[in-house]
Amino acid sequence: MHVPKPPFAGSKSERYAELNAQLAALLGAERDGVANCANMAALYFEALPELNWFGFYFLRGEELVLGPFQGKVACVRIPVTRGVCGAAARERKTVVVPDVQAFAGHIACDAASRSEIVVPLLDGARLLGVLDADSPRQNRFDADDAAGLEAAAQILVQSSDFSRLSG
């Protein structure tokens, strides 16, 4: 039987602070980038409501290549010239898309997706890849999600060794 997740206790930013502290503890003893992305995807996919996909793409040359994720099977390679992921990678900025059908060039991996947020994984000025979350609800992501996931991305980058993954 499907049991709905309980509503957030506290504000969204308080919930992210709690979740990001859990992430820091979870990743604290491990530096392998793939292992840390895999556990982060499992943690956030379960903890954040109304998601149908949460995962990572790593920058390899001019392409983003699929990394660990939770959700339906996804496109493996995304040129940095394409999609929401490509936009976040090119601009090195978080991109929030309230309605994916209104975003020219959106790449639909799961037809259920209605809104999306993509956060660049930055090690200083160096782009390692992107964190991507999709929702079946329009307008699912706001500035609190952007701030919370940007902080989470920094915890991930600082806790992990990506030297054999990106380039």
> Minimum distance from CB of 134 to ligand SME (Å)?
5
CB closer to ligand SME out of 17 and 42: 42
Q: Which of 33, 67, 70, 106 binds ligand SME (CB under 6 A)?
A: 106
State which of positions 81-100 bind ligand SME (CB under 6 A): 83-85
Does 34 help bind ligand SME (rule: CB under 6 A)?
no
Q: DSSP E strands: which ranges in 12-144?
A: 53-60, 63-71, 77-79, 95-97, 115-123, 126-135
51 binds ligand SME (CB under 6 A): no
Considering only the stretches 26-34, 41-49, 107-115, 142-150, report the one whose residues sit in contact with ligand SME under the rule CB under 6 A: 107-115
Structure tokens at 166: 């990106």
Closest CA to 148 of 55, 12, 39: 12
The dihedral sign for the CA sequence 33, 65, 102, 94: positive
Q: Is residue 153 close enough to count as binding ligand SME by CB under 6 A?
A: no
Which parts of 117-136 interact with ligand SME (CB under 6 A)?
A: 132, 134
Task: Decide: helix, strand or coil at residue 36.
Answer: helix
> 3 pairs with which residues across the strands?
none
Question: Nearest approach, Cβ of 66 to ligand SME (angstroms)?
Answer: 8
- Per-residue binding string, ligand SME, 54-83, x by CB under 6 A, is --------------------xx--x----x
Question: Please, are residues 56 and 69 in contact by the beta-carbon 8 Å criterion?
Answer: yes
b vs e for 32-44, b when ≥16 Cβ sit within 10 Å of the residue's Cβ? ebbebbbbbbebb
Residue 88: half-sphere exposure toward Cβ, Cα within 13 Å? 29
The binding site for ligand SME (CB under 6 A) comprises 53, 74-75, 78, 83-85, 106-107, 109, 113, 116, 132, 134
